[in-house]
Amino acid sequence: MIEVNANQDEERVEEIGENHVGTSAETPLRKDAFDISDEEKIERIQKSVKDILDTLGMDLTDDSLKGTPKRVAKAFVNEIFMGLNPKNKPSTSTFENNYNYGEMLVEKNIVVYSTCEHHLLPIVGRAHVAYISSGKVIGLSKMNRIVEYFAKRPQVQERLTMQVVQALQEALGTKDVACVIDAKHLCVNSRGIKDIESSTVTAEFGGKFKEKETKQEFLDYLKLETDFQNL
């Protein structure tokens, strides 16, 4: 039975091929994903990276390479994929909207560094996030940290966009949240079709942002030039 299932999985992978596939708004994690410590994960990944480099024929006795397996392992666990671990989820404390600001708040040009879960190559771009307060406001830097948290994991851009919106909706107690992400995928830019010019744009609109007028207002804000070099 196990062999049959393995064959079916392999056939499914072959069928998907280079197609871009997403499964759900939840990051696919096993239930035992955090049963071992970060230190043990680093140790295991270090061995795996060493095996990969050995298989590729790299000389790991060379001074330039001998530390690479451990560097990669630490970067995976502590930086590049740190958003997988719930302990790294940023605080989303909010405050009362005591000044009764009733228009949308837009945080533009949030830098996105993520990793495509299909080829483990970088996704680099910008996120633009907005919300309309229903009585609560959130610190501006928290919006950046929420984007960073969900970006720092193997990702699909559509899922990332949805997760940012859902996290802010939960924190703010409102559906009136929107996110647009424009990013380059190195799995497209540096391999395969090798199209260095193309980028991918995804959007998620909740509540009032689904209304044509509100959506257009948000998109118009994104067109504003933001240049403070001469200040």
For 17-59, what is each residue's pLDDT tens digit? 566 555 578 999 999 999 999 999 999 999 999 999 999 999 9
**Residues comprising the chain, all counted:** 231
pLDDT at 94: 96
**Coarse DSSP helix, strand, coil percentages of the chain, rounded to the nearest 5 percent:** 45, 20, 35
pTM: 0.88
Q: Which amino acid is at 164?
A: V
Which residues are identified as catalytic? 116-119, 157, 185, 187
Residue type, 94: T
What stretch of H or E contains 29? none
Q: Read off the tokens for 56.
A: 């590729």
What is the per-residue pLDDT for 49? 98
Percent of the chain with pLDDT over 70: 88
* For residues 102-118, average pLDDT: 97
Instruction: Report, in angstroms and rounded to the nearest whole number, the Rg of the chain calculated over CA atoms.
Output: 21
Average pLDDT of span 194-203: 95
Helices 68-75/38-55 angle, 10° precision: 130
More confident residue, 228 or 151: 151
The confidence score (pLDDT) of residue 10 equals 61
Ordered domains of the chain (ranges, CATH): 35-80 (1.10.286.10), 94-222 (3.30.1130.10)
Q: Among the listed ranges 58-62, 189-193, 218-222, which one has the minimum average pLDDT value?
A: 189-193
Work out the average pLDDT over 148-175: 98
CA distance 180 to 75: 27
Q: What is the mean pLDDT of residues 5-24?
A: 57
Q: Is the model's pLDDT at 15 over the cut of 70?
A: no
Q: Which burial class, exposed, middle or buried, applies to 87 when counting CB atoms under 10 A from its CB (0-12, 13-18, 19+)? A: exposed
